[in-house]
Amino acid sequence: MDEMKVLDALLSLEILSSLFDTNFVKAPYIDKPTQAEEKRGETLKKAKDFMLRDADGQATTAKVLYDAFIKVGFNETQAFELTKTTLENN
């Protein structure tokens, strides 16, 4: 019975080692950017465009927050730190 367990374990190890053996696997030849890379580039461009379009709104939000903190009695340094924290957490 123990011999069967040992044989099963050795066979399992051999199967696992063959799954991770990369000696016979060749890296693919890449001549041009893949579709995934192209899609990533498009997505990054769209995100950058969105951020630029939305920059005015974000700046307005930051200013409103800062002014609100000043209005309720925080000093400039405290208001600035609270604004940063609020914007980072949202």
Alpha-carbon torsion angle 19, 22, 25, 30, nearest 10? 120
Q: How far is CA 40 from CA 33, 43, 48, 84, in A?
A: 11, 5, 12, 29
The verdict on pTM exceeding 0.95 is no
Q: Residue 59: which pLDDT band, with cuts at 50, 70 and 90? A: confident
Q: What percent of the chain has pLDDT over 70?
A: 63
Rounded CA separation 43/49 (Å): 10
What's the pLDDT tens digit per position in 43-53?
Answer: 888 878 777 77
Q: Determine the pLDDT at residue 49.
A: 79
pLDDT at 19 over 70: no
